[in-house]
Amino acid sequence: MKWLLRILIAVILLLALLPAAAWFFFPWYAQPLLDRALEGKPFRIEVAGVEMQGNSAIGFRSVKAIFTAPPDECNEEATTYTLSLVNGALSFKFSNRDQQKSGGVLPKIVDATFTLKADSLSIIPNPQQFAFGDSNALIKIDLEVSRSNGFALSIKPLSATYSISDATVTREKLCFEGINYNVKLSDVGHWQQPIDTLRVTKLSSNGIPSPAGNFRALFGSKRDPRNPCTLTLSDCSVELFQWKASTERIDYNLKKKKSTFTINLPKIPLNKLPGIYQGGKSLPFAKGRISGSIPVEFQDSMIVVRNATVIAEKGSKIFFYTKEKKPLLSLDIGLTNGGEGLLKKLNTRINFTTKNEKPSGFALSGISATLFGGKISSTPFSFDPSSGNSRFTLKLNNVKLLDRIRLQGDIKGSLNGGISGTIPLSITKKSFALLNGTLQSTGGGSITLSPPSKKQSISERLFAQEPQDVTYSFSEPGFLCNRSVNGSTTISFKLKSLQQKTAGGDMVILSPSGRLSLWHDHLNPNMVSLSDFSMGIFEGTVAINHFDYDMAKKEGETTLQLSHIPLQKLLDLQGTKKIYATGALKGNIPVKIKNETFEIINGSLNAEEPGQIIYATTAEERAAANPGLRITYEALSNFLYAQMLSSINMAPDGKSAMTVQLKGANPEFQNGRPVELNLTIQQNLQDLMRSISVSSDVDQIISDKATKSKTP
């Protein structure tokens, strides 16, 4: 910078000789005269189209000045600058200065003022670190010309001013526009640029406007003697997404060619950020504000961020909604009492890459941060705007994300625990892919579903049960995710346990796992597939090989595969208190779902091995029973079955028919002769399941309902 200012003054002084050359020796002699005057000097000036404009100005079509700044303590290599002026004029004004001095001969002093105007001014260094351009440039220089003895002239520059207005600086694909700065140099100020305000209106990259603009800083050429190679901009500010960010100072080391500064983010409203701002829509997608501090080092096309911090104020949230625009959940990202902030200790290194000596994108490495109290990092990756492709893997370690999720609407509950895993991502211009992403947590939580109340008739209010809340508690969830660039997604899931709790009791499901497939059918994107599903229930297993469900039509069908289901558990589910049984069942239950109703066609449940059934009755019950029923009581008092076969069918309205065939013997009945029992059971399974969810006293509820249904 020091050499650039000095050489700029020297060039203007040389240009000041042009009027004399043009006046006395005609315009076409100007170039030879300049060549002779600059012979052996590190300057070269080329002029074209020189013409006189009256008695006090000279015009030119172009002036090119080429000069070299030698190496110094701050720059180890020489730099050649090319200064070009196009379509300009140099006007001049002279005035004699009156002097008074007692005794002796006073030298004659003339004050000269030269004003240079040009349609454009450009400065390009070699090696090209930047390119400076200014339209309608105006430079003014004041000189003192004196002659003390003979014809020897002494020229002393007094001051130079250059009001830079709406200039541009480009560096590779970066472009700084609307640069304004007042250059004021003087002999009195030892040719040091005093502190003045530097303004940059716009910043763009490859022609694309940057969200940063209206940069402002105080800058002067005087340096700290302790750091003579460091230029400092102070009291800096910039508008970022229309909010004002600031930094106390920006230090640029001329020797290392490195800039260091810390960006202080203001309190930016979350709902105004790009990607969250919804253009004044009624549904809020976020609330609260974020702020932060980002230390930055910039050197040799590399940006280094060290220990950056981003904080969201208390109460800051991001909201998510269903397709019906109903609240689904919110993510609390704000500060909590004794909790961790949003993002801390953010570190990364950004290298701007080149291809064929031209900028071609950037590469990130060393990415790590503390997110919600856990660790997050990424493998190095690069981004090429021409292809738009990049690949990297995010790594999470105990990120406390579940604790910050708040369920909304008809879904309530609480989640807890940290999330760990890896997320391998492949990003293209239009989409992204995920290959074997894994997420798991040692925590869990509970979710309560509250069915919305429906308008009911008088009879429904009298006899039907009100919808009841159902709470699901889970622990140690784990997921394996895959997504192709066309959007098809597969999620394999597994839980350690899942517990269903209603007013009527609890049901524990062990190790539920399966695979969900989403958006695989492009002709029907509403089709969801569940495959390889299994869960442990009643010490047995329920499995589904494959299940396709159309979310738009609300229909689908599959087959439930049951194995090792204890018979006693099913009897307990019915609420019976008089039957004791051993053995386990297996079977297939075909299920068809349509519009939230279930249909079972030709389902079967069979005993896996022989077992025992004991039906306990009192002496009074046996005495009151008819002969046929008394025989059944006696046979089932200690029935050892060898075979149990059953079939089940259920209509969409819940009416079901079940047939049960038992073959076996009672050693205490008729000397253990073989007995075969055939039973047919008809009931409404929907009413039964609804009753079970309310009370375990099923017999009483079914009896009451049967009585009411027969009342005229």
How do residues 147-197 score in pLDDT, each as one tens digit?
666 555 677 888 889 999 999 998 766 788 999 999 998 888 888 889 999
Distance CA 104, CA 318 (A): 86
SS3 75: strand
Amino acid occupying residue 677:
L
- pLDDT band, very low/low/confident/very high, at 706 (cuts 50, 70, 90): very low
Cβ-contact 183, 160 below 8 angstroms: yes
pLDDT at 145: 77
- pLDDT band, very low/low/confident/very high, at 468 (cuts 50, 70, 90): low
- Across the range 422-430, mean pLDDT stands at 86
The HSE-up count of residue 642 (CA atoms within 13 Å, CB side) is 9
Residue 46's domain comprises: 1-99+106-191
CB-based burial label for 355 (10 Å; 0-12, 13-18, 19+): exposed
Per DSSP bridges, beta strands 505-518 and 527-537 are antiparallel
pLDDT digits (tens, 9 = 90+) for 574-603: 666 788 889 999 999 998 988 778 888 888
- Across the range 2-30, mean pLDDT stands at 53
Checking if the pLDDT of 281 tops 70, the result is no
pLDDT at 451: 62
- pLDDT band, very low/low/confident/very high, at 704 (cuts 50, 70, 90): very low
Task: Please report, rounded to a whole number, the percentage of residues in the chain having pLDDT higher than 90.
Answer: 18
182, part of any domain: yes
284, part of any domain: no
pLDDT at 340: 66
**3-state secondary structure string, 126-182?**
ECCCCEEEEEEEEEEEEEEEEECCCCCCEEEEEEEEEEEEEEEEEECCEEEEEEEEE
Checking if the pLDDT of 708 tops 60, the result is no
What burial letters (b/e) apply to 498-535, b meaning 16+ CB within 10 Å? bbebeebeebebeebebbbbbbbeeeeeebbbbbebbb
Checking if the pLDDT of 401 tops 80, the result is yes
- pLDDT band, very low/low/confident/very high, at 15 (cuts 50, 70, 90): low
Checking if the pLDDT of 459 tops 50, the result is no
3, part of any domain: yes
User: Which residue intervals of 496-626 are DSSP H helices?
Assistant: 567-574, 619-624
Q: What six digits make up the tokens of 429? A: 């211009």
50, part of any domain: yes
Distance CA 541, CA 561 (A): 8
pLDDT at 23: 47
Distance CA 603, CA 648 (A): 5
Checking if the pLDDT of 480 tops 80, the result is yes
Which run of H or E residues covers position 37? helix 30-37
52, part of any domain: yes
85, part of any domain: yes
pLDDT at 697: 38
pLDDT digits (tens, 9 = 90+) for 54-104: 778 888 899 888 888 888 888 888 888 898 999 998 888 888 765 555 555
- Across the range 489-493, mean pLDDT stands at 90
Q: Find residue 621's DSSP bridge partners.
A: none
Sequence-separated (6 or more) residues with CB below 8 Å from residue 684:
653, 654, 655, 656
pLDDT digits (tens, 9 = 90+) for 213-233: 899 999 998 888 888 888 899
- Split into its structural domains, the chain has a count of 1
Per DSSP bridges, beta strands 432-441 and 419-427 are antiparallel
pLDDT at 599: 87
Distance CA 132, CA 125 (A): 9
∠ Cα 46 177 12 (to 5°): 30
Checking if the pLDDT of 701 tops 70, the result is no
Checking if the pLDDT of 628 tops 50, the result is yes
Checking if the pLDDT of 681 tops 80, the result is no
Least confident of 499-508, 646-655, 690-699: 690-699
Q: Average pLDDT, whole number, for the chain? A: 79
Task: Please report, rounded to a whole number, the percentage of residues in the chain having pLDDT higher than 70.
Answer: 79
pLDDT digits (tens, 9 = 90+) for 261-278: 999 988 888 877 766 655
Q: Which residue has the tokens 């229909």?
A: 555
Sequence-separated (6 or more) residues with CB below 8 Å from residue 627:
none
Higher pLDDT, 148 or 295: 295
Distance CA 476, CA 500 (A): 16
pLDDT at 105: 52
547, part of any domain: no
26, part of any domain: yes
The dihedral built from the CA positions of residue 616, 620, 621 and 623, taken in this order, carries a sign that is positive
- Across the range 112-127, mean pLDDT stands at 89
pTM of the model: 0.69
Q: Give yes or no for a cis peptide into 127 (omega within 30° of 0).
A: yes
Higher pLDDT, 30 or 582: 582
